[in-house]
Amino acid sequence: MERILFGDNQFFAVNHISDEKSMAQSIRFKEDAAILKTLDVAKNTGINTFMCTTHDRIENICTVVRNNSEKYHDYKMYPCLPYAHKYANSITENGVMGTFQKFVPGNVLGSIFKGGMAVLSRDYMDLMELMIDSELKMFKGINTPVIFLQNVITDLLLGLRMKDFLVGFHRYVKLKYNAEAGFITMNMPLLLNVLESAGIRQPIICTSINKAGFRMSGGISLYEKVLQEERARIIAMQILAGGAVPVGQAIDYVCSLPGITSLLFGASSKTNIEETVAHINHHDQVYNMTKQVQVYA
Amino acid sequence: MIKVAVVGAGKMGISHLAILGANPRVDVVGVCDTSKLILDALYRYGHFPCYTDFYKMLDQAQPDAVVIAVPTKFHASMVRELLKRNIHVFVEKPFCLSIVEESELILLAQKRHLINQVGYHNKFLGTFKEVKKLLETKSIGEIYHFHGQAYGPVVLQPKQDSWRSKSTEGGGCLMDYASHIIDLINFLIAPIRAVDASKLQKVHSTDVEDAVYAMVELENGISGMISVNWSDETYRKMSTSITIVGKKGKIIADANECKVYFKAKDVPFGYSQGWNTKYVTDLTANVQYYLRGEEYTAQMDYFLDCISNNIPGSINSFRTASETDNAIFLIREKQ
């Protein structure tokens, strides 16, 4: 995994601190061309990985990436599935069963769940695999070395103690897509324990890590302790804590921590993207030098 | 350990179940639903004891507390049964469909010293808690107007197929989206006493309203407006906000930020004259387990704390939820 990954929240009006900004982003990125232009800005700063949800509009981005193989020959996309709001809104409207019926292709539900009951436990895994396939269709022909499970599903499965689905996801993306599984979570220490208990070593975990301690369930000191142990490949997200911490300080904090493989961020403007990348590169250099000095000493 | 059971494994029930499942001081002793497919998955993979019969679950699982997350029309009878069995109750919002039944249940819970809570989670959000603090110290002076709003993309097409699209079962935007903002106004400023005008508008639905617009008056004489629309697809998810205008300042708050304007230099600690913005990141305490928002875990922690300490909570009690339902009734009646 590369050190810096580019995220897609800004493209789809996901803003954790302001509904107003969220709407402004929705207007700004109405056209796919605006998204592509921003991806190019990021690409020009050296970011070759785009971590994105399975939002309908990503399909168009995928088409462009696929059709311009020369320009995007070393470009990677990390799909994060499912695009949860699509399902959450549907559940309110159609109920849990109605939502399955709406999104699972064909009459599969009818054929594997006889009389409203699964005959074998395997059938639930089949259902999960079908939903993974349907979400990943748009990425066909694109380099997707890591495939993520969105936090709302990872964390739901954690709370419901359904470890088997986390393991099933890990196994299936390897088998079918030759990709590594990644897990997005707001409960990193808890998730890591559960994955390890299922025999998954050094998992890829994308989680909130920021100086403000925001969305770090169990507390910032627990996170720092777990990071020290270097038991996982960690991608830090929400590093700016939604904008609550000034950029320089925010990045200084994350770069100073051990055990973080990559940093994920998203931004709309050229200036913000370039500034953030410059901050990361600068702080990485400083901490690498410090480490070298410590080794020599 | 507190023995808790959940009835209803839909969107909210499953969310509560996960929050309870991750809580080390809770023993989930039962989950009850009518969907065999969902129960089968919860039993096989989550190893939760599952039931299709509510009474059988109560008899066998012997819970200390039950979380109710079934369609609103079933709330009253289930709550009554639980209270009679001396079981603490957390029930999803809105509380019930009849104010008369609610009064009886409030008295019963009180008489039996049982913890009673309704799931209005906004009160556990950092931004709205900050608004409450600012209003308690009268920092924006005498309030003379407010506007509560909630918008989101729930019903975006004519065909719907759940209890939420049926007026007789507690469906509709007034009972669902609008109840949140009504409850918030009741909590932050004062309970709604009268409704001057209201309009319940259908956008896509045939049996229920998709939007609610009302002018309301509070117990303390302050008047304001409510605008709610659950057929607004310009919002990615539900957005709830409140603007409160006082003689010394103004507050605009939603789930993400709390913007405050102070006319003069006389301001609370941490604020200054003019505009101030506090973000949810500064105002939100971490929880032990996060799912969909800190407020969902925080409200359940509050319920469990009340049970452990044996002290009835003042936030989201049956009584305050009934005041919200009374306002819902007034808005519907005025149309």
Q: Give the pLDDT of residue A105.
A: 61
Total number of residues shown for chain B: 335
Contact residues, chain A, for B165 at CB < 8 Å = 93
User: Which residue shows structure tokens 């462009």?
Assistant: A64
Q: Give the whole-angstrom CA distance, residue B198 versus residue B331.
A: 6
- Nearest partner of B81 among B54, B119, B53, B50, judged by Cα: B54
From B108, B329, B145, select the one nearest B242 (Cα to Cα): B145
* Phi, psi of A77, deg, nearest 5: -120, 135
A90-107 pLDDT, tens digit per residue, is 776 677 777 777 776 665
Is residue B321 less than 8 Å (CB to CB) from chain A? no
> Could you tell me the pLDDT band of residue B247, with boundaries at 50, 70 and 90?
very high
Q: Does A14 touch chain B (CB under 8 A)?
A: yes
Distance CA A139, CA A83 (A): 14
Return the structure tokens found at B169.
Answer: 């079962």
CA distance A290 to chain B (A): 31
Q: Write the DSSP string, B188-238.
A: HT--EEEEEEEEEE-SS-SSS-SEEEEEEEETTS-EEEEEEESB-TTSSS-
> Is any Cβ of chain A less than 8 angstroms from the Cβ of B125?
no
The reported pLDDT for the residue numbered B160 is: 67
Angle at B134 between CA B128 and CA B139, to 5 degrees: 150
Hey, CA dihedral for A113, A117, A119, A122, is it positive or negative? positive
Report the residue of A23, A92, A221 to disrupt the B interface, i.e. the one with the largest count of B CBs within 10 Å.
A92
Contact A92 B162 (CB under 8 A): yes
What is the Cα–Cα distance from B255 to B259, expressed in whole angstroms?
A: 11
Q: For the domain bounded by A4-296, which CATH number is listed?
A: 3.20.20.100
Among chain B residues, the shortest Cα distance to A86 is held by B236
Please state, in angstroms and rounded to a whole number, the distance separating the CA atoms of residues A186 and A208: 6
CA distance A200 to A205: 12
Q: Indicate yes or no: CB of A116 within 8 angstroms of CB of B164.
A: no
Residue of B nearest to A241 (CA): B281
Residue A13: closest C-alpha in chain B: B236
Which residues of B fall within a CB distance of 8 Å from A214?
Answer: 281, 284, 286
Question: What phi and psi, each to the nearest 5 degrees, are found at residue A61?
Answer: -65, -40
Structure tokens at B116: 């009673």
- Is residue B121's pLDDT more than 90? yes
**A2 to chain B, minimum CA–CA distance in Å?**
28
Can you give the pLDDT at residue A112?
A: 59
Q: Which of A13-17, A199-203, A240-244 has the lowest mean pLDDT?
A: A13-17
Q: What pTM was estimated for this model as a whole?
A: 0.92
> What percentage of chain B carries pLDDT values higher than 70?
99
**pLDDT for residue A19 is more than 80:** no
- Residue A293 reports pLDDT greater than 80: no
How far apart are the CA of B19 and the nearest CA of chain A, in angstroms?
6
Any bridge partners for residue A4, and if so which? A263
Residue B263 has pLDDT above 60, yes or no: yes
* CA–CA dist A79, A65 (Å, integer): 14
**Is A180 an interface residue toward B (CB < 8 Å)?**
no
Min Cα separation B270/chain A (Å) = 15
- Min Cα–Cα distance to chain B from A286, Å: 28
B35 at the A interface (CB within 8 A)?
yes
- On chain B, the residues whose CB falls within 8 A of the CB of A209 are none
* Cβ separation B288–A215 shorter than 8 A: no
Q: What is the mean pLDDT of residues A187-207?
A: 98
Domain boundaries, chain A: 4-296
* Beta-carbon separation of B44 and A124 below 8 A: yes
Cα–Cα distance, A264 to B115 (Å, whole number)? 44
**A100 within 8 A of A113, measured Cβ to Cβ:** no
Residue B281's pLDDT band (cuts 50, 70, 90): confident
Q: Does the CA dihedral A57-A63-A69-A74 come out positive or negative? A: positive
Q: Which of B156, B281, B295 to mutate to test the interface with A (most CBs of A within 10 A)?
A: B281
Tell the residue number behind the tokens 């469906």, with chain if given.
B171
**Pairs of CB atoms within 8 A across A/B:** 150
For residue B156, which residues of chain A lie inside 8 Å, CB to CB?
Answer: 89
Q: Cis omega before residue A82 (within 30°)?
A: yes
Q: Does B281 contact A26 at a Cβ distance shorter than 8 Å?
A: no
Residue B11 and residue A94: Cβ atoms within 8 Å? Answer: no
Distances (CA, A) of A269 to A9, A181, A261, B77, B308: 13, 31, 25, 56, 51
Rounded to two decimals, the ipTM of the complex is 0.93
A152 CB neighbours in chain B (<8 A) are 291-292
Q: What is the amino acid identity at position A105?
A: P
Strands A113-114 and A117-118: antiparallel
The per-residue pLDDT for range B5-33, each reduced to its tens digit, is: 999 999 999 999 999 999 999 999 999 99
The arithmetic mean of pLDDT across residues B131-135, rounded, is: 97
Which domains are present in chain B? 2-121+304-309 (3.40.50.720), 122-288+316-334 (3.30.360.10)
User: Distances from the Cα of A89 to the Cαs of A17, A111, A130, in angstroms?
Assistant: 21, 26, 20
Residues 185-224 on A with a CB inside 8 Å of B are 186-187, 190, 212-220
pLDDT at A113 over 80: no
Position A118 scores a pLDDT of 58
Does residue B161 register a pLDDT over 80?
no
Residue B82 in this model has a pLDDT that exceeds 90: yes
User: What per-residue confidence (pLDDT) applies to A24?
Assistant: 78
Q: Which of residues 73-92 of A touch B (CB under 8 A)?
A: 85, 88-89, 91-92
Residue A10 pLDDT greater than 90, yes or no: no
Q: Which pLDDT tens digit goes with each residue over A134-164?
A: 899 999 999 999 999 999 999 999 999 999 9
